[in-house]
């Protein structure tokens, strides 16, 4: 892999990991809520919303980095 491809490829992998961790934490929030602690579940969901709010921008930036460079 060419060095200029490493950063966007790495960022794309990290973004995928972020999505997987977010999904797992959503499952944990459901479990917490079902265990009788809706306040704690709400806290988890609020923090997950911060991630969700930036996911689109991060994905767009990673996508732009992954586009082939046009020689000048």
Which tens digit of pLDDT belongs to each residue from 9-65?
888 899 899 999 999 999 999 999 999 999 999 999 999 999 999 988 988 888 888
Specify the pTM.
0.76
- Cα atoms in the Cβ-side hemisphere of radius 13 Å centred on 15: 18
68: phi then psi, degrees, rounded to nearest 5: -60, 140
DSSP 11-72: HHHHHHHHHHHHHHHHHHHHHHHHTT-HHHHHHHHHHHHHHHHHHHHHHHHHHHHHSPPPP-
């Amino acid at each position: 892999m060419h060095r200029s491809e490493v950063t966007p490829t790495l960022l794309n992998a990290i973004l995928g990991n972020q999505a997987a961790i977010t999904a797992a934490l959503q499952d944990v929030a459901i479990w917490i809520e079902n265990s009788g602690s809706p306040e704690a579940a709400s806290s988890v969901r609020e923090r997950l919303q911060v991630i969700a709010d930036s996911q689109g921008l991060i994905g767009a930036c990673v996508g732009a980095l992954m586009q082939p460079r046009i020689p000048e």
